[in-house]
Structure 1
Amino acid sequence: MIIYPLIELQEGRCVSLHRGRTEEPQIWHVDPVKRAQEYVEAGAEAIHVTDFDAMSGDERNAELIREIIRAVHVPVTLGGGFRTMERIEEWIDAGVARIVLGSIAVYQPDMVKEAAMRFPDQIVLAVDVWEGHVVADAWRSSSAMDPSDFLKSYATDPLAAIVITDIGADIGEALDSLALVTQLAGEANAPVIARGTIRELDDVSRLKYVPYVSGTIIGRALFDRSIDLGEALELARPEVEERAAFI
């Protein structure tokens, strides 16, 4: 299982949000580029970046994200504010390995399908779930769509991965979030990356054995030191089975 350390950006700062509330960010006083480098030095094989400003069309973090891409030398996944094919192309040309499409997948599914065809293994579908429904617009707009039905609508598209986020994970039971991920991972047509399920190391151990889950995104728990990245990476590594010796 791959662990994707998460860097969420707002006004050039590393932040964490409670249920997507951009007006109430928890600010981490660290340099985003240095933090990304530290994650790679600890053994991270990829980095996940979310640009909250870009969701409102503000590109103030663009150069900072380019610095992260140049500094880490591992694949960077980027999400936030992707509404046009031109912007997707721009960031793929800038070196982003994968693009996360969330709200646009709710409002303009045909564009997401086209992007998946044009950029195989580079388009990631975000499925954000709150109270049993898919939500959009940084979790502010709830749709009538059931997440299972939402996944079925993309069943034939060549997606690189599907990120499943339980919005209520901050206030709900960890096992409830795990149950949601387990259900949707079994229905998905692409490798699933879980987000919002990891609070402590034991959560990594549990998620590792969920079928069809290929990775997890960890943000706040790394910043507040609830989890040590090195220990989490060690737990996430596949176990090497002993082979019988031939005589």
Structure 2
Amino acid sequence: MILYPAIDLKDGQAVRLVHGDMDRSTVFNDDPAAQARAFVDAGCSWLHLVDLNGAFAGTPVNAAPVEAILKACKVPAQLGGGIRDMATIERWLDKGLARVILGTVAVENPDLVREAAAAFPGQVAVGIDARGGKVATKGWAEETDVMVTDLAKSFEDAGVAAIIYTDILRDGAMGGPNIAATEALARAVSIPVIASGGVSSLADLEALKATGVIDGAISGRALYDGAIDLEQALKALKD
């Protein structure tokens, strides 16, 4: 199981939100590229980046720090937030991003997901963010009536590289991930599922791994706060 350290970008800084609330942010590093290098130096094999401003604006906002991270780090990185058209997808992949994450458009324009996944095999993931099993869009600000599993299953034949499933009510709250819901989703689809939201201890990571069906986990605040030691976690997940 791959551990993805998260770097959430707001106004050019690395931050963490609580429950996706932009007004409840904590700045952890003024230099996101330095933060990324620290994660890579600790041994991570992937980075997970989110343009928080972009998720609300519907277009990339934190391009400069993302590009700085891509220049500073040689490990693959995936990015979500404000990626809602083919031109933006192509631009990011041309800049060296390994994978784009499509969230809002997966609900509003699923044909774009299919087109992108066909054009860029292995480089398009779908981000599914949910409250109470229902999908939320536009930086989690808008709730839909779409069920998580239904949306995931609709992309079974699209060639999507991964599904990143976030339980919004767990995100940034350090209360543990929604293992049952994530495992259920992973068993319902053949697409690799990455858990996000609430991963706050080594025990959480080990429990996700123990399901045998979850492909990866994203953690942010716990790594910044020291609740998870990255080197120790990576070793545990490898053993």
In structure 2, the residue matched to 1:3 is 3
Contact 2:12 2:30 in 1 (8 A): no
In the alignment, structure 1 residue 28 sits paired with structure 2 residue 19:
no
In structure 2, the residue matched to 1:245 is none
**Residue 148 of structure 1, CA deviation:** 1.3
**Residue 92 of structure 1, CA deviation:** 0.3
Q: Which moved more, 1:225-234 or 1:54-63?
A: 54-63
Distance 1:119 1:100 in 2: 12
Tell me the matched-pair count.
Answer: 237
Contact 1:164 1:194 in 2 (8 A): yes
Q: Sort the Cα spacing of 1:173 and 1:50 in 2 relative to 1 into closer, same or farther, 3 A.
A: closer
Equivalent AA in structure 2 for residue 105 of structure 1:
A
In structure 2, the residue matched to 1:15 is 15
In the alignment, structure 1 residue 128 sits paired with structure 2 residue 129:
yes
**Residue 173 of structure 1, CA deviation:** 6.1
Equivalent AA in structure 1 for residue 199 of structure 2:
I
In structure 1, the residue matched to 2:229 is 228
In structure 1, the residue matched to 2:176 is 174
TM-score (ref. length: structure 2): 0.94
**Residue 59 of structure 1, CA deviation:** 4.3
Q: Which has the larger radius of gyration?
A: 1
In structure 2, the residue matched to 1:188 is 189
Q: Alpha-carbon deviations, 1:110-153, whole Å to 9, x = none?
A: 11111111111000011111012111111111111111111121
Equivalent AA in structure 2 for residue 218 of structure 1:
S
In structure 2, the residue matched to 1:213 is 214
Q: Alpha-carbon deviations, 1:76-109, whole Å to 9, x = none?
A: 1111101110000000000000000001101111
**Residue 54 of structure 1, CA deviation:** 1.7
Q: Which moved more, 1:49-58 or 1:86-95?
A: 49-58
In structure 1, the residue matched to 2:109 is 108
Contact 1:14 1:32 in 2 (8 A): yes
Q: Sort the Cα spacing of 1:89 and 1:224 in 2 relative to 1 into closer, same or farther, 3 A.
A: same
Q: Alpha-carbon deviations, 1:165-209, whole Å to 9, x = none?
A: 11121569637x100001001012211111014111111111112
In the alignment, structure 1 residue 84 sits paired with structure 2 residue 85:
yes
Q: Sort the Cα spacing of 1:173 and 1:15 in 2 relative to 1 into closer, same or farther, 3 A.
A: closer
Question: For structure 2, which runs of at least 5 residues remain unmatched after alignment?
Answer: none
Distance 1:172 1:146 in 2: 25
Equivalent AA in structure 2 for residue 83 of structure 1:
R
Distance 2:29 2:100 in 1: 26
**Residue 163 of structure 1, CA deviation:** 0.4
Q: Sort the Cα spacing of 1:231 and 1:87 in 2 relative to 1 into closer, same or farther, 3 A.
A: same
Contact 2:199 2:222 in 1 (8 A): yes
Distance 2:156 2:201 in 1: 32
Equivalent AA in structure 2 for residue 139 of structure 1:
W
Secondary structure of the 1:174 match is coil
Contact 1:186 1:211 in 2 (8 A): no
In structure 2, the residue matched to 1:243 is none
Distance 2:87 2:207 in 1: 39
Q: CA RMSD in A?
A: 1.6
Distance 1:212 1:116 in 2: 22
TM-score (ref. length: structure 1): 0.91
Distance 2:212 2:175 in 1: 20
Q: Deviation above 4 Å: which 4+ runs of structure 1? A: 57-60, 170-173
